[in-house]
Chains A and B, each alone.
Chain A
């Protein structure tokens, strides 16, 4: 490390390309946290200085820019990535250089690296509660639609197992390219309307998600009759889809902008002050925000960016996040998170319908989740 007057950290979120909507919100969450830390005097008197690159939603770029950040910009800590494929590009780089990498996104699990802090939900924290909710509320005939990469396929495997345990049936399983436009969904939507499932489970991400919801609405599909349930459709995407087309659709996530709590209201007020709007605040944005704060707190403890010391400080750390209490699991580097189910209302805002009582321990290597796991018992939420 060169002696400098700031703590330099690398940031790799795309502000252009197919996943830019969600990654911009992650970038904003990160920048808000940096602002808060710096305006409170920084860490041990030094400011945090972000070095930001735009990988343009191009998978290979993430790995190359991670290398650039470490070699040329001399940073030792990187925040970034949305898609699993981009994380897999960064992983070997941070392992080889023994850097620390914060990944604030839900993903499919089955990974552990001592160099990564995983801030998003694993399937046991969101898929299982969502499957349970769908079957209890809507029925057990489900149709799967996903983007064609590893996360949707693995999510669907988990979902299929849980639905079968509940005596349910998967009516169809379709995959579309990441950049799929509205016409691409035509035949899928027709098939859905013909088969009349009780609900649709969507793992279509990014721009494709907006196109899919729009295509479904245009063809006559209504969320209030047969909802699309997703783990990734978030506030920013619902805003693009519009309230009319989005109403009734369901999302499971640790955080929603509409959470009715002091911590969340304060977070949103500061966010609005910095960015002028809270329209694009999402669970991935909140995860990015929390990870930056946890990093700063570990840095305060260590007084330097040595990876091994930082890791020790981070493992087991608790944080009062906008979603509620979270904690980094000392065994697997993933995060204990809250779990909520919400429905889009007439105004295009998520109304939270149910949540688990306590944060759920991440279990990234769970092959076969049990639908009757008592720790995932949902409770009704009244009044959001």
Chain B
């Protein structure tokens, strides 16, 4: 069984919604499912800590308040489930603004709450993994680019081939107990300074 389902009861769920029948129904269902829960209203100036999943009431104007609240959170923002009353384009645009992972429509009922929590959590987690992988891949491409630049500089100056250029960088890195990337940086910087000197 998926860990998302198995570990459901370990989640802390916050409900940011006016205190009405909908909110009450939702909080009771979260309680039945067995997650930790807290109710928040009005929209605060700061998000509470340790919220894994946030149910938030979204209308045509409040994404302006919700978005900065989430942006200024330290660490990961929670998985977000928007609760909407109207399914019109202005409200739906708001869902994209706040980065909702799932949606429930009013009037709220018990059925669907558990699926929404699970889907939001899964998409949130997948996004997080993908973002991490993307950052890593980007950094790697960047590094390879830098290393290539440094090699070209060496090849140009010394009249050597690609393989030898890389051997020099590697040897330097080992001698100075640093990374090939650092050495590549130094070479690129030095080259920049030297060519600037030549232009004066």
Nearest CB to that of B30 among chain A residues? A365
Q: How far is the CA of A365 from the CA of B31 in the complex (A)?
A: 10
Interface bits A358-384 vs B (CB < 8 Å: 1, else 0)? 000001111110000000000000000
The answer to whether B9 and A367 touch across the interface, beta carbons within 8 angstroms, is yes
Q: Are B32 and A364 in contact, with the CB atoms below 8 A?
A: yes
Q: Do residues B1 and A331 form an inter-chain contact, with CB atoms below 8 A?
A: no
Q: How far is the CA of A258 from the CA of B9 in the complex (A)?
A: 38
B: number of interface residues (CB 8 Å): 15
In this complex, the interface size class of chain A, counting residues with CB under 8 Å from chain B, is 10 to 19
Closest Cβ of chain B to A173, distance in Å, is 15
**In whole Å, how far is B121's beta carbon from the nearest beta carbon of chain A?**
13
A273 to B156, alpha carbons, bound, how many Å? 108
Q: Is B19 at the interface (CB under 8 A from chain A)?
A: no
Which chain B residue lies CB-closest to A334? B32
For A366, give its contact among B1, B28, B34, B110 (CB under 8 Å).
B34
| Complex CA–CA separation, A331 to B28 (angstroms) | 7
Partner of A367, one of B6, B31, B111: B6
Q: Which residues of B contact A367 (CB under 8 A)?
A: 1, 5-6, 8-9
Interface mask (B7-31 → A, CB under 8 Å = 1, otherwise 0): 0110000000000000000001101
- Bound complex: CA of A364 vs CA of B32, how far in Å? 8
Q: How far is the CB of B69 from chain A (nearest CB, A)?
A: 30
Task: Give per-residue flags for B82-124: 1 if the beta carbon is below 8 A from chain A beta carbons, else 0.
Answer: 0000000000000000000000000001110010000000000
Checking A114, A331, A368 against B31 with a beta-carbon cut-off of 8 angstroms, the contacting residue is A331
A38 located at the interface, meaning its Cβ lies under 8 Å from any Cβ of chain B in the complex:
no
| Interface presence of B33 (CB below 8 A) | yes
- Contacts A157-B1, A331-B28 hold; do A365 and B111 have CB atoms under 8 A apart? no
Partner of B34, one of A113, A161, A363: A363
- Chain A residue numbers with a CB within 8 Å of B110 are 112-114
Indicate whether A84 reaches chain B with its CB closer than 8 angstroms.
no
Return A89 CB to nearest CB of chain B, in Å: 15
- Of B6, B31, B111, B114, the residue contacting A113 (CB under 8 A) is B111
Question: Does A332 make an interface contact (CB < 8 A)?
Answer: yes
**A368, B33: Cα distance in complex, Å:** 12
Question: Does A275 sit at the interface, judged by CB under 8 A?
Answer: no
The answer for the CA separation of A114 and B34 in the assembled complex, in Å, is: 18
Assess the A365–B32 pair: CB atoms within 8 A.
Answer: yes
Nearest CB of chain B from residue A108's CB, rounded to whole Å: 14
Q: How far is the CA of A331 from the CA of B27 in the complex (A)?
A: 11
Map CB proximity to A onto B169-198 as digits: 1 under 8 Å, 0 otherwise: 000000000000000000000000000000
Shortest 5 CB-CB contacts between residues of A and residues of B: A112-B110, A365-B33, A332-B32, A368-B6, A365-B32
